[in-house]
Amino acid sequence: MSEGEMARLMEEVEEKKKLIGTIRNKPWRMKRRLVQLREAQQFVDKFEGALGKGKGRKWYAYKVMMTKKWIKFQRDFENFRTACIPWERKIKEVESHFGSSVASYFIFLRWMYGMNLVLFGFTFGLVVIPEVLMGLPYGSIPRKTVPRAEQPTAQDYSVLMDFNGYCKYSVLFYGYYNNQRTIGVLKFRLPLSYLMVGIGTFGYSLMVVIRTMAKNADVGGGDGGEGEFTFAWKMFTSWDYLIGNSETADNKFASITTSFKESIVDEQENQKDENIHLRRFLRVLANFLITCSLGGSGYLIYFVVKRSQDFASRDDLSWYEKNELELIMSLLGLVCPPLFETIAELEDYHPRIALKWQLGRIFALFLGNLYTFLFALFDEVNTKLEEEQAIQNASIWAMKEYYANYTRLLNDSESTPPPMDPSDVIRGPCWETAVGIEFVKLTVSDIQVTYLTILIGDFARAVIVRFLNYCWCWDLEAGFPSYGEFDISGNVLGLVFNQGMIWMGAFYAPGLVGINVLRLLSSMYYQCWAVMATNVPHERVFKASKSNNFYMGLLLLILFLSLLPVVYTIMTLPPSFDCGPFSGKVKMFDVIMETIDLDLPAFMGTLFSYAANPGLIIPAVLLMVLAIYYLNSVSEAYKNSNLELKKKMQMARDEEKNRRNNMDSTNQVMKDLEDLMPNQSLAPPAPPPEPEKTPEPETKPVKTKPGKGVNLQKDVALASPNPGAQRPVSRPPGPRGQGPGAGPGRGRGRGVPPR
Amino acid sequence: MSSSAHLKLTSNSYHSNSCFFSLQELTFLTKQEILLAHKRFTELLSKEEKDLPNTRVSMERILSLPELKSNPFRERICHVFSTSAHQDGSLTFEDFLDLLSAFSDSATLEIKSHYAFRIFDFDDDGTLDCGDLEKLVNCLTGETDDTRLGPEEMRQLINNILEESDIDKDGTVNLSEFQHVISRSPDFVSSFKIVL
């Protein structure tokens, strides 16, 4: 076989392989696909061996076998991965009863659970376990022991519920960890690991959120305007094929009809200009009221935090006074959103816009509350830091006294006295543990309030409506309370903010991530049950269509906002002198400096010092800014050429139609040209010359040989030939080419086709 | 077509790996999904039919599946995926797999939009004209008369749709126009899904 023949054969084999890889993309009958597949496989098997003649034959055969094995392994791994995804059945049940928008909350919950599980793995494996296994046990050093004064009550249930007593001096909180540079036989560097895990938590979360956002942004084609194809979309995409329940289907029919009728009416009376001044006044009034309530809630929180600081010094507190702060915060989060909704009735917006305003306001509420809480907490931290100085002196004094007493008692100044019993040592206030305790208490009370709300707001309501209906004057089911609907946006926001609190608190309380994992797990089962048992499908099903990325964007924002306080404290506040892995250092990040000096070879130290030079960092930042600017302008250019192509398409079709109908050209440009040359008829070129590169973001570049057109829709002779169709055609469509490759996206909610 | 062109999925070759490997090449389904589909399909068969290769299940029995029962397009779906010579909407197991593959989570937008177009094309003429669109709207607004749109509203609605999607202004929506509209929709891929 000659060289040329061999090359051609190799090309054909490659082509057949590509066909095998993309055969599922073809909209053919199974029979035809099977025949084609068998043919292609036979061809490949027959000729692949022949190609391996001459030198390197064994290597070629080996390569082929390894590729086959690799593909099989990948396929099996994908299957295994899909099988591992939990709760598929549950979510499918919810989907078939309530449609895909309610189910999207549960998919989001599952995604959060996965992320938290990974974070928990990091924290547990790299911080908690080493300290437990290789560090000093409970009771050996002061920071790990309950002080003598607290010991009688340390096991009381109420004290433990407050996360004091034995809870406070356990692995759950920052204060337990020892500041030994290396522990155990393996010389595990715990303080360094603690810091790295703390920062790595944020890094990993950031990476995961951005990756999911990028995947979501792929669907939906980026820049399609909101109102571009309203009617067509309503027609073609509004039915949810996952609905498997006739009641839900009826609801869906009703809502589709309503939305059709509304949009027809909307389209007709676009200029409904009733009383614009009244409307403006009402809107300003509504915004004013809402700003007042936001300010009010912020002040309330500040006030309550100050009060809790006063309470800290007293001992005779009722249950309410002890938990006042957390209760108030959770209640505000419960009461304010419906309040905002009622006030928003004044504004009279279109429901979709009203939803956006509502979400924005709830966001502002939560953010304001959280940050007020943080500022108040910082005040507390500063007072503790001042206190620390005094206590440090006091403890040194106490130590000296203890030694003096000891030597006096034994009349022997030679022997060294044993160290003071750990529970007697005077302790510093340990602000990090205090902050950790606050966050844990907040999370726990948030969990309690959420679960209680579901129990009372949904379950009790459903029970009352169902059973009291038999003996009540009006129809409870159709009329006033009726059954609750599942509040998607409220729940998603709750989840997002809860995660923000976890991110903030995880540095000071490593056990918090574990608590959150348990919470998400139980939430999944509890809410699935509640939704199926007590909720009814929505009456008005209208999707905030790009809401998936909206919530991810919110999560990203919260991530940055919770990163700020933690980084601030790491960089500026001095760690406590007697508790935690950084005790004794001036700043927390000194651990890194220490490690670079002691553990890494010398040249790394000089390297890092160069890298930290402002003279290097500022140009790097400038470079990044320039890169952003450049990418921005490139994307603008793509958008513009998109529009141009669309216009071209339309022009070409107009011309074609006019030619067919023998009419005069309606295109002004062509008309002008024709006027200039009255004797020649200017027929437009048949397929408009296609640009070399298609900047359309939704088409993948064609990976076939040059000269082969790609047109998936040509395979089925249904479409009238459209010369300027979406894909680039360098010549009229010839024999079947290949379509864009399919990605192995599997699993619900993650199987987004790559475009 | 030779008989070897049919997939032999009787209980003997059920467990054969190469059979599954082919099926995974041909569809977007994973091995578990194919097994589940086989289980649900055989539940629809009567005892005698179970032993025959390549049985065809009538449309009524397919429509008894809960996933399809409440779907307003259920009959069209059966017609589109059916390879029956009598055009009666009956499905073999291969057709059933075809259906599930097109509606699966990992199917590409092109496949989904292609099949959506065929489902909406009620008169099977290759374009969506006014008659198709009218039937489509009636399917979506339910069975009873009080939920249906009046003739005036229907006309208005169809005009709006044609205005939006008909690029070459020939009064019908053809496949490429349909795909152009659909590709921009953020909801289509997630709602055009059927999972057993």
- Residue span of the structural domain in which A657 resides: 613-671
Other CB atoms closer than 10 Å to residue A516's CB: what's the count? 26
Residue A61 φ then ψ, to 5°? -65, -40
Nearest-by-Cβ selection for A748 from B105, B118, B179 = B105
Contact B32, A80 (CB under 8 A): no
The alpha carbon dihedral of A72, A75, A79, A84 has a sign of positive
Q: What are the tens digits of pLDDT across the range A204-238?
A: 999 999 998 888 776 544 444 455 677 788 788 88
What is the pLDDT averaged over residues A429-443?
A: 88
In a shared domain, residues A632 and A531: no
Same fold, B2-102 and B109-191: yes
Residue percentage of chain A with pLDDT more than 70: 81
Q: What is the number of alpha carbons within 13 Å of residue A123 lying toward its C-beta? A: 30
Q: Which of A247-256, A280-289, A447-456 has the lowest mean pLDDT?
A: A247-256
In a shared domain, residues A405 and A543: yes
Residue A606 lies in a domain: no
Higher local confidence (pLDDT), A486 or A640: A640
Higher local confidence (pLDDT), A200 or B176: A200
Q: Which of A105-119, A128-142, A551-565 has the lowest mean pLDDT?
A: A128-142
Q: What are the tens digits of pLDDT across the range A486-543?
A: 888 788 888 888 999 999 999 999 999 999 999 999 999 999 999 988 888 776 655 5
- At residue A729, the pLDDT reads 41
Contact A637, A646 (CB under 8 A): no
Burial of A573 (0-12, 13-18, 19+ CB in 10 A): middle
- At residue A540, the pLDDT reads 60
A485 bridge partner residues = A536
- At residue A502, the pLDDT reads 93
- At residue A706, the pLDDT reads 39
Contact B192, B116 (CB under 8 A): yes
- At residue A369, the pLDDT reads 82
In a shared domain, residues A190 and A339: yes
In a shared domain, residues A170 and A294: yes
Q: Is the CB of B24 less than 8 angstroms away from the CB of A248?
A: no
Total number of domains in chain A = 3
Residue where a domain stops, chosen among A36, A67, A83: A83
Other CB atoms closer than 10 Å to residue A108's CB: what's the count? 21
Per DSSP, the residues of A47-95 read HHHHHT-STTHHHHHHHHHHHHHHHHHHHHHHHHHHHH-TTHHHHHHHH
In a shared domain, residues A514 and A381: yes
How many angstroms separate the first and last alpha carbons of chain A?
41
In a shared domain, residues A574 and A630: no
Give yes or no for A748 touching B (CB within 8 A).
Answer: yes
ipTM beyond cut 0.90: no
- At residue B59, the pLDDT reads 87
In a shared domain, residues A173 and A32: no
Q: Is the pLDDT of residue A437 over 60?
A: yes
In a shared domain, residues A60 and A95: no
Q: Which CATH fold topology does B109-191 show?
A: Recoverin; domain 1 (1.10.238)
Q: Is the pLDDT of residue A71 over 90?
A: no
- At residue A685, the pLDDT reads 43
CB < 8 Å to B175, chain A? 713, 716, 718-719
Does 2.60.40.1930 match the CATH number of domain B2-102?
no
Nearest-by-Cβ selection for A27 from B25, B32, B115 = B115
Q: Is the pLDDT of residue A555 over 50?
A: yes
Q: What are the tens digits of pLDDT across the range A526-541?
A: 999 999 888 887 766 5
In Å, how far is A220's CA from the nearest CA of chain B? 4
Chain B interface mutation, best of A87, A219, A230, A235, highest count of B Cβ atoms under 10 Å? A235
Q: Which of A308-317, A422-431, A658-667 has the lowest mean pLDDT?
A: A658-667
- At residue A484, the pLDDT reads 79
Other CB atoms closer than 10 Å to residue A546's CB: what's the count? 17
Q: Is the CB of A235 less than 8 angstroms away from the CB of B137?
A: yes
Label residue A414 by pLDDT band (50, 70, 90).
low
Q: What is the C-alpha to C-alpha distance for residues A422 and A431, in angstroms, rounded to an integer?
A: 20
- At residue A670, the pLDDT reads 67
Per DSSP, the residues of A622-688 read HHHHHHHHHHHHHHHHHHHHHHHHHHHHHHHHHHHHHHHTTPPP--HHHHHHHHHSTTS--PPPSSP
Residue A639 φ then ψ, to 5°? -60, -45
Residue A696 lies in a domain: no
Label residue A394 by pLDDT band (50, 70, 90).
confident
Give yes or no for A721 touching B (CB within 8 A).
Answer: no
Q: Which of B51, B126, B112 is nearest to A755 (CA)?
A: B112
Q: Is the pLDDT of residue A633 over 90?
A: yes
Residue A310 lies in a domain: yes
Structure tokens at A81: 């991965």
Residue where a domain stops, chosen among A46, A62, A83: A83
What is the pLDDT averaged over residues A579-607?
A: 84
Higher local confidence (pLDDT), A89 or B21: A89
CB < 8 Å to A720, chain B? 126-127, 174
What is the pLDDT averaged over residues A179-208?
A: 89
At residue A484, the 3 state secondary structure works out as strand
What is the pLDDT averaged over residues A334-356?
A: 79
- Give the residue on A whose Cα is nearest the Cα of B107: A753
User: How far, CA to CA in Å, does A646 sit from each of A650, B84, B123, B164?
Assistant: 6, 41, 30, 14
Higher local confidence (pLDDT), A678 or A623: A623
What is the pLDDT averaged over residues B29-39?
A: 87
Q: Which of B146, B44, B183, B65 is nearest to A642 (CA)?
A: B183
Higher local confidence (pLDDT), A658 or A467: A467
Q: What are the tens digits of pLDDT across the range B103-150?
A: 988 888 888 999 999 999 988 888 888 888 888 888 888 777 667 777
Structure tokens at A304: 């309550």
- At residue A722, the pLDDT reads 44
In a shared domain, residues A327 and A415: yes
Q: Is the CB of A242 less than 8 angstroms away from the CB of B193?
A: yes
> Mean of the per-residue pLDDT values for chain A?
78
Q: Is the pLDDT of residue A324 over 60?
A: yes
Q: Which of A242-246, A440-444, A449-453, A734-738 has the lowest mean pLDDT?
A: A734-738
User: How far, CA to CA in Å, does A240 sit from each of A184, A434, A534, B43, B81?
Assistant: 58, 50, 22, 26, 19
Q: Which of A66-80, A176-190, A198-212, A732-746 has the lowest mean pLDDT?
A: A732-746
Label residue A357 by pLDDT band (50, 70, 90).
confident
Q: Is the CB of A241 less than 8 angstroms away from the CB of B191?
A: yes
How do the domains of chain B map onto residue ranges? 2-102, 109-191
Q: Is the pLDDT of residue A1 over 80?
A: no
Q: What are the tens digits of pLDDT across the range A460-478?
A: 888 888 888 788 777 777 7
Q: What are the tens digits of pLDDT across the range A96-127?
A: 788 777 888 888 899 999 999 999 999 999 99
Q: What are the tens digits of pLDDT across the range B163-192?
A: 888 877 788 888 888 888 888 777 788 788
Residue A729 lies in a domain: no
Residue A739 lies in a domain: no
Structure tokens at A117: 């599980």
Q: Is the CB of A753 less than 8 angstroms away from the CB of B109?
A: yes
In a shared domain, residues A651 and A503: no
- At residue A520, the pLDDT reads 95
Interface of A with B in 726-745 (CB under 8 A): 726, 739-740, 742-745
Q: What is the C-alpha to C-alpha distance for residues A65 and A70, in angstroms, rounded to an integer?
A: 9
CB < 8 Å to B40, chain A? none
Contact A430, A173 (CB under 8 A): no
Q: What is the C-alpha to C-alpha distance for residues A157 and A319, in angstroms, rounded to an integer?
A: 13
Other CB atoms closer than 10 Å to residue A15's CB: what's the count? 18
- At residue A701, the pLDDT reads 38
- At residue A654, the pLDDT reads 74
In a shared domain, residues A57 and A165: no
Chain A interface mutation, best of B56, B63, B106, B196, highest count of A Cβ atoms under 10 Å? B106
Residue where a domain stops, chosen among A671, A706, A738: A671
